[in-house]
Amino acid sequence: MQTEYTSSPIPSCWWVDLPETAYDKALELQLAIVSAKTDGRLVADVILCLEHPRVFTLGRRGGRENLCVSDQFLAEKGVQVIPTHRGGNITYHGPGQLVVYPIIHLSRRRLKVVEFVSGLEQAMIRTAAHWQIRAQTDPANRGVWLSGDKLGSIGITVRRGVSFHGLALNVNTDMVPFGWINPCGLKQVRMTSIERFLGHAVSMAEARRVMAKSVAEIFGFDLDCLSPEQLCRDLNVTLDPLTNKGHPS
C-alpha cells in the first residue's frame, strides 16, 4: 500500500504516544493538528496513540437511539456521551482499549479513503496476530471480528484531504459498558477483547509497539517517534489538551 509522490517528497510521519487522555481534549489536539496541516504550518503527518477514560461517542449517523441505559444511570457511573463528526454510530472507549488517531494528508500520500480504512483494519488484524489471534474483516460491517464477536472498530473523518479520528482495538478493555449500547448500531452483537480471548491480560505498552510496527508496514510509513511535548511545541499549543486543564494557545 506504499505510495509515491511525483513532484514532492513524502512527508515525515510522527508517532506520538500519549497518556490516558480525556476524549474531548484528544479531539482538541486532533483538530489543532488538522488545522496546522490544512493551512500549511505542519507538513508532517501525525499518528496519536492513547487510551481514553470511559466515554460513549456518537457518530455522524447518531447513535443515541442505540443507548440502552438512562442518562441518570450514566451520570451515576460518571460516563459522558459526546457527539462527534466521525463516521459510524455509537461506540465505547475506555482504559485497556488501544486508540489510534492517524492525522494523515491522504491526497498527498495518494491514499483513497476506502483503502486507508481497509489498511487500518489490517493494522488491527496484524496486531491481534502477534498473540496468535486470527481476527478478520466482515464485508457487511467495518471493523475487525473474532469468531463472530467484534474486536475493533473504525470511524474516520476527512477534512480538506486530511483524515482524523481512527481505530479502537479492545486489548484489556472492560466489556461491561458495551452491554449498555448496541455497539456501532448493531443489535445482538457482542464485543470481545484480546484479554477475553487469551484468558489473561497483555501489556498495553507491547500492544502500542506492535500497532506502530503494523501501521508502518501496511502503509509504508517511516515513523519517527515524537514526545507529546515536542508535538505541542511544533504546533505552538500548550500541554493543556493532554492534561484536561485547558485549550490550544
Give the model confidence (pLDDT) of 114-137 as tens digits.
999 999 999 999 999 999 999 999
Q: Which three cell numbers stand for residue 222?
A: 517511516
The pLDDT, as a whole number, for residue 189 is 78
What is residue 175's predicted lDDT score, i.e. its pLDDT? 93
pLDDT-based confidence at 67, cuts 50/70/90? Answer: confident
Strand partners, 57: 82, 91
> To which H or E segment does residue 102 belong?
strand 97-103
The proportion of the chain whose per-residue pLDDT surpasses 90, expressed as a percent, equals: 66
Residue 79: half-sphere exposure toward Cβ, Cα within 13 Å: 22
Q: What is the pLDDT of residue 237?
A: 78
Class of domain 13-238: alpha beta
**Residues classed as catalytic:** 184
pLDDT greater than 70 at residue 61: no
Q: In which residue are the cell numbers 473504525 written?
A: 154
Can you tell me the mean pLDDT for 190-219?
96
Give the pLDDT of residue 87: 72
pLDDT value at position 186? Answer: 60
What would the grid cell of residue 60 be? 455522524
Q: 26 CB contacts (<8 Å, ≥6 apart)?
A: 18, 48, 50, 52, 99, 101, 241
Does the structure show a pLDDT above 60 at 142?
A: yes
Q: Could you give the C-alpha distances from 181 to 35, 221, 226, in angstroms and in order?
A: 33, 35, 36
* Residue 233 identity (one-letter amino acid): R
How far is 179 from 79, CA to CA, in rounded Å?
A: 14
Cα separation, 29 vs 215, in Å, equals 21
Report the pLDDT averaged over residues 25-51. 94
Quick check: 7 pLDDT over 50?
Answer: no
